Amino acid sequence: MSEVKKKRRFGLFRWIVLALILIGVYFAFIGPSIYRPVRPAVVLPPEAVWPGLNIFGIPLTNTMLATLIADLILILMALRVNRFVKSGEMVPSGVSNFFEAIFEFLWNAVDSATGKWARKVIPLVATIFLLIFVANMVKMIPGFESIGYLEQLHKGTGYAPVPLFSIFGRTVYTIDNAQPVKLAAEAAASQGSEPTPAEEEHELCSACQVIPFLRGSATDLNFTVALAVIAVLMTQVYGVMALGLGYFGKFFQFGRLVNGGIFGVIDFGVGILELILELAKILSFSFRLFGNVFGGAALLAIIGSLLPVVLPPGLYLFEMLFGIIQAYVFYLLATVFISMAAISHHSEETAEAHA
Amino acid sequence: MNDPQAFVTGLKLLGAGLAMLGAIGAGVGVGIAAAGGVQAMGRNPDAAPIIQTNMILGMAFAEAVAIYALAVALIIIFAAG
């Protein structure tokens, strides 16, 4: 083995990598200033994809567009797998193989956690896992958070636009790192611009920032809160399916309050606390995913503007890892909460069924 | 100090930074969970899948504290007037 490796040591690959690094150094530090990255603006709420583009009165935001792309990829994958299943072959390949590996992994964990409820639980949790997973991977595509339209800033530091090239009679602009425009700052946190070229459609601005067309889905709290609310509500539904309406006895222990004496009062308080805990789950579910993905995106943008050459590839790898782990954690917690809801506190037979 | 609004903004950012002190506890907790998990897996490699699942679960719960701190920090920066 080592002999073969030694022969390949002076291959082409390393020179390509070295050339790419040198090109990166040239553009980031030596070359014309329009190629240099600028300080990014960290914006919490998602921006509209296009000014005035509304669907049913709601502006289409860039995170929604990214989620739609993730949905499209998932649907294509599902159609592919469906075709494979219909074909009746036994050995999957390509996308189907990948899907089978993921599904087997998910099924094993759900089966061991929820036992006889696994068949009913897996559609929900597997959907959540796949959506978060694909959305987090789609976020890594170059062009996300960097290509967009220019908008006039009202405070802080913007950058002057420079025409780059023309296509279909429209000019594509980039923003110039060497021409920062300081506006009469209202003492707010200074806002810079997104790092790369931008398309410009309406009249030019003097101090610009880029509003990206696409932004990672989970950098939007609406996405994560929606998933969290679905997960927690469905936990209650599975609880009722498993235990009947007696499931809510976990929260309102009136029986203990009436005949339990002083400890009955304590039990009643604990029940109310469990109800509050259910609401706290929504908070921790949504902020865990949002915090990780948003923090990662902000880190990538800021490191990319400070040291654009060596560090970002490693951080991208890190981000991919975290995208997978966060999807897994969301799915695992949802599974565990559902399995906990489906097990009664008092009845013995369900406990035995799970043992 | 001659620009009161800048002063308030500075204090806001300082407060957000202080709120993130909560991440210390979460970091220690996640580290302890990982150490325990790896030790257990070293002693009993056969049980690795179960240990891994529970380890990640524990890490997620420990991490939740840092997430709350992050939520508070974000609210201070972006939402608090």
Q: Where are the domains of chain B?
A: 4-79
Q: Which residues contact A275 (CB under 8 A, 6 or more apart)?
A: A251
Task: Kindly tell me if the per-residue pLDDT of A288 is higher than 80.
Answer: yes
| pLDDT at res. A4 | 53
B12: nearest CA partner in chain A: A189
Please tell me chain B's helix, strand, coil percentages from 3-state DSSP, rounded to the nearest 5.
95, 0, 5
Phi, psi of A53 (to 5 degrees): -90, 105
CA distance, residue B48 to nearest chain A CA (Å): 13
| Band of residue A130 on the pLDDT scale cut at 50, 70, 90 | very high
From chain B, the residues in CB contact with A129 under 8 A are none
Residue A150: strand, helix, or coil: strand
Query: Which pTM value belongs to this model?
Result: 0.79
Distance from C-alpha of A215 to C-alpha of A147, rounded to nearest angstrom? 10
Q: Going by C-beta distance under 8 Å and a sequence separation of 6 or more, which residues neighbour residue B33?
A: B55, B58, B59, B62
How much is the pLDDT for A83? 86
DSSP state of A52: T
Tokens of A88: 């009746």
Secondary structure E strands in A74-169: 142-145, 148-152, 157-167
> Token pair for residue B18?
């202080």
- What is the structure's pLDDT at A213? 81
Domain boundaries, chain A: 70-142+217-354, 148-212
- Show residues of chain A in contact with B74, CB under 8 Å: 44
* CA distance, residue B46 to nearest chain A CA (Å): 16
Question: Residue B30: pLDDT band by 50, 70, 90 thresholds?
Answer: very high
What is the arithmetic mean of pLDDT over B15-19? 91
The CATH number assigned to the domain with range B4-79 reads: 1.20.20.10
Chain A contact set for B80 (CB, 8 A): none
Give the closest of B6, B60, B78 to A329, CB-based. B60
Q: Measured in whole angstroms, how far is the alpha carbon of residue A250 from the centre of its chain?
A: 33
| Structural tokens at position A339 | 């399995």
Poorest-confidence range of A32-46, A52-66, A229-243, A263-277? A32-46
Instruction: Look at residue A165 in the predicted model and tell me its pLDDT.
Output: 66
Asked whether the beta carbons of A150 and A210 are under 8 A apart, the reply is yes
At A151-206, the pLDDT tens digits run: 766 655 666 666 666 666 666 666 666 666 665 443 333 334 444 444 444 456 66
Which percentage of chain A shows pLDDT scores above 90?
A: 10
What pLDDT shows up at residue A355?
42
Distance CA A10, CA B42 (A): 40
Q: Say what the pLDDT of residue B81 is.
A: 60
Determine which of A207-211, A344-348, B23-27 has the lowest per-residue pLDDT on average. A344-348
Average confidence score pLDDT of chain A: 77
Taking 70 as the threshold, does the pLDDT of residue A214 lie above it? yes
Share of chain A above pLDDT 70, in %: 75
A54-55 vs A58-59, strand pairing mode: antiparallel
CA–CA dist A263, A284 (Å, integer): 30
Higher pLDDT pick, A11 / A102: A102
Chain B contact residues (CB < 8 Å to A): 3, 5-6, 9, 13, 53, 56-57, 60, 63-64, 66-68, 70-71, 74, 77-78
Asked if the model's pLDDT at residue A208 lies above 80, the reply is no
Q: What is the DSSP letter of A211?
A: E
- Choose, out of A284, A290, A292, the residue to mutate when testing the contact with B (most B CBs < 10 Å): A284
| DSSP 3-state of A135 | helix
The pLDDT of residue A163: 65
Which chain A residue has its CA at the smallest distance from B78's CA? Answer: A44
**pLDDT band, residue A224 (cuts 50/70/90):** very high
Report pLDDT for B31. Answer: 94
pLDDT in tens, B49-65: 888 888 888 888 888 78
